[in-house]
Amino acid sequence: MAMMIRNRVCAGFPSPAEDLGAQRIDLTQMLIVHAQATYFLRASGHSMEEAGIDDNDILVVDRAVKPRHNHIVVAIVDGDFTVKRLYQRAGRIKLKAANPTYRDIEPKDGQTIEVWGVVTSSIKQFPV
């Protein structure tokens, strides 16, 4: 999907008009590295708000990216999907919420956490 993008726009105080020349960008090229392993999921809930992921955002999830400490991931816990920040240190693993009102997920005895994919982008839509 190619579209026009203008130069940067000031989100603070207005700046004098710049050359408003536009160039084409391709959102698919910009957001997707591994097309065959990339999925779009809609976020539900508020546990990742401090990471910039809000309820109803569209998550770009790449299953080909190897999950590492501090990545935001989609994981399966007890058969349910969740999105959290991956904590992996000293042989310990947990899924950290980005909202202090939500608990982190630490596997209990016999419980498995499967990291399903790495969130590479979040797309917001505003009401118009």
Active-site residue numbers? 47, 84
Residue found under tokens 């536009």: 22
Residue found under tokens 């979040």: 122
DSSP category for residue 92: E
The answer to whether residue 61 is domain-embedded is: yes
The residue with greater pLDDT, 109 or 60, is 60
Whether the model clears a pTM of 0.75, i.e. scores above it, the answer is yes
- Assign residue 107 the CATH number of its domain: 2.10.109.10
Distance CA 50, CA 32 (A): 24
The answer to whether residue 7 is domain-embedded is: no
Task: List the one residue out of 1, 2, 77, 73 whose CA is nearest residue 41.
Answer: 73
Residue 104 has pLDDT above 60, yes or no: yes
The answer to whether residue 66 is domain-embedded is: yes
The answer to whether residue 94 is domain-embedded is: yes
Structural domain total, the chain: 1
The residue with greater pLDDT, 3 or 50, is 50
Q: How confident is the model at residue 114 (pLDDT cuts 50, 70, 90)?
A: very high
Domain enclosing residue 74, as ranges: 34-123
